[in-house]
Structure formats: structure tokens, C-alpha cells
Amino acid sequence: MNNLTSDFNWHHQLLLALANHKIECHFFWGEKFQLLQLNNELIIHLVSLNNGGTAEDFIGLQKEYHKKNIKLVHLWEDIWLSRPDQVLARIKSLLGRNIRIHGRKTKAFKIAKPVADAFLTENHLQGSVSSRYKIGLFEKEELIAVATFSALRKMNHTENYKSAELIRFAVKSGYSITGGLSKLISFFAETHKPNDLMTYADRDWSAGEAYVKLGFTQTAVVESHNYILDEKLNRQLKKNNQSSGQEVFNTGSLKFILKF
């Protein structure tokens, strides 16, 4: 299968899926980039496995549209092919197409690992990873959001100072919860008493706007990473001198910290 055929296939799949959700869009070229405009505020950069670009190119493209008050996200071919439902849910959320629930109508509880893993696998773009604490947000009996956190870590700069990491946060597909993340963080903070909470925003999809609104401060920019795709299109961090397999990258992440 040549590159043009491969691009057509996954682009066509994406267009059909968007049409099924009544989301209008149109293709256009921005220099060497294949772009999909959904409205006046959101553009998807379609990144094929044979794209030939660099993380610096992609970040520059994002900054160019940010100056025009347009959010641009990078959607890789492997992410679409392996996680189409989660991609569509993220796009609909960015477009404001979700059912909105207020956090006041929800309650937070600790949940078990299998429950958290199943929810994150179904609803988070990057699936589930290891964590120490799992907290769910419920509307009546229904689990509608999950946040996972690391164990508390002692920091040497101040006596008895402990830091934790927000590792994952996901909302049930089709829903947005006003104040949901704040409520989960408050539950964790009241239960475990960290001095601060750190987290990362994936620059392919976010500049961390939601964290800033909650009082987080950006403290660092983390460089891009290179990955090797396995046969199921799962990304494995590339090891030194590893050359076998299809290679992809991301645009890095932004580190944020919230102090209590």
C-alpha cells in the first residue's frame, strides 16, 4: 500500500466518523501540513506515519494558529487507528458537543484498580497506567469521571514537604463535568494532605488551559519523545540505538504544579 493510499484510507475513516456525528469539516493545506478545519476555533493537524516533519515544526504550527486564537491539535495516524472512539470523544469535547453535568450533583469515592483501569481504557486517549490512588466521580450510581494519583513523595527542599502527581483524568465519553476535576483533586487533597500536586499536559492536544483555570502554575516544558510502534500500534518509548519498527514522536508536554 503506497503512502497516498494509506493517507486516503485513514482520512476517509475519520471523515465518515465525523459525518456520523454531524460534525462538518474541510481539508486544506498549510504549507506542508495536512489540516482539517472543524470550526473557527479548532483545527486538526493530520499526521501520517510517513509525515517527515519534526516536533519543532509541529510546535511552530501550533503557535502560529494560537496567535489567531485557533486551537490546533496533532492527530497521528496510529492514534486514530488504535483509539478512534477516544479520539472522537476528545474532538466532541473540544467542540462543546457534550452533555454537561455540574459537579455539585456528583460525589467522589475511592475506587478499585480494575474499575479505574476499565474506565480509563474506555475513555482516556492514552488508556490506563500504574497509579497508587484511584478516585471516581459518581452521579447517583453511575461512574462518570476518574482521576488517578501517585503515592506521596518526600521532597528534600523543605522538611515534611510531600508532593503527588495527578496521573490520569478522564470523563465518560459524551459528558463534561463543570468542576469535576476540581472536586476530585479536593477529595484527594483532603484525604492525603499533599503540599502540592503536579501534572503534565500532552502538547499534542492541550496547552493545559484547564489546569491554569484551577490555579496550577506551569513550571517546565518537557521535550518531545520518540516511540516505536508495536504490531498493535501501541507506542513504546524508543530505547537508545533502537532502530527496528515504525518510529513516531510527540511534541512533548508541559509541567504544572498546584500548591495547597
Q: For position 5, what pLDDT does the model report?
A: 60
User: Is residue 170 within 8 Å of residue 146, measured between CB atoms?
Assistant: yes
Would the pLDDT of 1 be above 50?
no
State the cell numbers at 28.
Answer: 486544506
Q: Is the dihedral of CA 238, 79, 178, 119 positive or negative?
A: negative
State the cell numbers at 199.
Answer: 501534572
pLDDT digits (tens, 9 = 90+) for 189-229: 999 999 999 999 999 999 999 999 999 999 999 999 999 99
In the predicted model, what is the mean pLDDT of residues 66-83?
96
Q: For position 6, what pLDDT does the model report?
A: 67
Looking at the chain, the whole-number percentage of residues with pLDDT higher than 90 is 88
Buried b / exposed e along 196-226 (16+ C-beta atoms within 10 A): bbbbbbbbbbbbbeebeeeebeeeeeeebee
In the predicted model, what is the mean pLDDT of residues 118-134?
97
From 253, 225, 251, 205, select the one nearest 73 (Cα to Cα).
205
Tell me the pTM.
0.93
pLDDT digits (tens, 9 = 90+) for 144-163: 999 999 999 999 888 899 99
pLDDT digits (tens, 9 = 90+) for 234-255: 999 988 777 678 899 999 999 9
Phi, psi at 152, each rounded to 5°: -75, 140
Domains of the chain: 3-94 (3.40.960.10), 99-259 (3.40.630.30)
